[in-house]
Structure 1
């Protein structure tokens, strides 16, 4: 397993390095000048030149990139131009909220997937399959900016049982019962599309496994459908499902931007929106590179888990 991980690490590092070049280049193609925003409309050319020199924007682009890359390697991205404050602190505070939201959504998606996919295959009825297909189609077709307001209208206005948005005022760990109430709606909104995609994939994978020769033999020997699904088909279908789950993690992180805006959840999505609106180069670059790094790390972790579940993968890599 160690050899398998070491073989995957160089490509992961190269992807992050290539992403850093693309991010740094694209950000500077975006219209707008942070110096003009900081200096104000009435600033003199001398004042603007002084601000540009202070921010290091008068250096050649290659030098700026190397300085930024070195700062990222040191985990010291510097100060925010316009949002204000130390970037490390801003990212750390937003990252906690985003990880709580994404983690809650991921847990909900996995639970919903297992219940729907395994339950549907065990039920083995046309009516159940039709209902699940309809729910999956609706969950995939409706974007989060539609399901979010619908959830707020239902559970915060018509049936006022959950808060409409925000985070627990005393923090997540002071009152876990209150935290669950704040987390439930945004996590459900974010989890529904991922759960629908996972349910469709896992259901088909389970049905495919039940058509394999070993399943036919097991049924001939008198093994019940429940035992066959839970002890044979599900373990065999999990490695491929884990790969899809890894892709859905990236989807969850991307969808968190809209969900955070809908539910006033102060995470990295809202921070990125503020940074992009104000042309805050260092903060935008840091957030984008962090997103790529998290996605690459998630894919690497997914491959490791898949290799643990399926020995043929790590044996093939060896």
Structure 2
């Protein structure tokens, strides 16, 4: 298992290095100049040149990248141009809220997918298959901002049962019941598309397993369909579903930008939006690199978990 992980590490590091350079370069193609925003419309060319030199923006792009990468590797993320404060502090404040929301949505999506997929395959009714297919299609097709606005309108305005936005005023651990109320709407909004994608994949994986010879043998022995699905087919279908779950985690992080804006959730998504609007290079490039790193490391983790659950993957990987 250790050799399998070591074979994955070089490609992961290469992807991260290339991603860091692309993020650093592309962010400078965004229209607008942070120096002009900082100096103001009445600043003299000399004042603007002094600010540009102080920020290091007068150096060649490659030189700026090397300096920035060195600071990132030493966890010196720099200071925000416009939002104020250290980037690391801004990142820590927003990351906690985003991770709570994302992991809640991921757990909700996984539970929904597991329950609906298992129920669909166990019952195996045409009408249920049609209903689940329609629900999944709607969940994927409807944009997140539409779902969020509908949830707020129904459950916070028409039926004032849940808060329309924000985070628990006393923290997440002070009152779990209050925390659940604040989390429910944004987590459901973020989880629905991911749950639909996971349900489709897991359902098809289970159906594929139900056509395998071992299932036919079990059915011939009189073992009930429900028991076969829960004790054998589901266990064999889960390893391949972990990869999809890892991809959905990255998708949830991306979708958090809209969800956090709709529900006034002070996380990394709102921080990215503020940083781009203010042309705040240090904030935006660190956040984008963090998003890529989380996605790549999540894929590495899912590959390792899948290999741990399915020894064939380790064997095939060792022959390449």
TM-score by length of 1: 0.98
In 1: Cα distance, 2:304 partner to 2:140 partner: 28
Q: Which moved more, 1:161-170 or 1:54-63?
A: 54-63
Aligned 1:202-281 pairs, distance under 5 A: 202-281=202-281
Match of 2:144 in 1: 144
SS at match of 2:29: coil
Gaps of 5+ in 1: none
Q: In the alignment, what sits opposite 2:79? A: 79
For 1:260 and 1:24, locate their aligned partners in 2 and report how far apart those are by CA, in whole Å: 25
C-alpha displacement at 1:95, in angstroms? Answer: 0.5
- Measure how far apart 1:129 and its partner are: 1.3
Whole-Å separation in 1 of the counterparts to 2:233 and 2:199: 15
Q: Within the alignment, does 1:22 sit opposite 2:22 as a pair?
A: yes
Aligned residues: CA RMSD:
0.8
Deviations 1:252-299 (A, max 9, x none): 111000000000001000000000011111111100100000000100
Partner of 1:307: 307
Matched, 1:201 2:201: yes
Farther off after superposition, 308-317 or 249-258: 308-317
Cα offset for 1:142? 0.5
- Which aligned runs of 4 or more in structure 1 are off by greater than 3 angstroms? none
How many Å separate the matches in 1 of 2:226 and 2:29? 57
Separation in structure 2 between the aligned mates of residue 103 and residue 45 of structure 1, nearest angstrom = 48
Partner of 2:8: 8
Q: 1: CA distance between counterparts of 2:30 and 2:154? A: 39
For 1:316 and 1:209, the matched residues in 2 are separated by 21
SS at structure 2 position matched to 1:266: coil
Q: CA deviation at 1:315?
A: 2.0
Alignment partners' CA distance in 1, 2:247 and 2:61: 34
1:186 alignment counterpart: 186
- Matched with 1:46 is 46
- Give 1:317 deviation, angstroms: 2.1
Corresponding residue for residue 294 of structure 1? 294
Match of 1:107 in 2: 107
Unaligned runs of 5+ in 2: none
Aligned pair count reads 318
Matched position secondary structure for 1:16 = helix
Describe the superposition over 1:16-50 as per-residue Cα deviations: whole angstroms up to 9, x where unpaired. Answer: 10011111111112221111100000011111111
State the shift of 1:180 in Å. Answer: 0.8
In structure 2, C-alpha distance between the alignment counterparts of 1:278 and 1:259, rounded to whole Å: 20
The alpha carbon displacement at 1:56 in A equals 1.1
d(CA) in 2 for partners of 1:130, 1:158: 31
Of residues 120-129 and 188-197 in structure 1, the stretch that sits farther from structure 2 once superposed is: 120-129
Partner SS, residue 77 of structure 1: coil
Of the structure 1 ranges 123-132 and 253-262, higher mean CA displacement relative to structure 2 is found in 123-132
| CA distance in structure 1 between the partners assigned to 2:120 and 2:81 by the alignment | 53
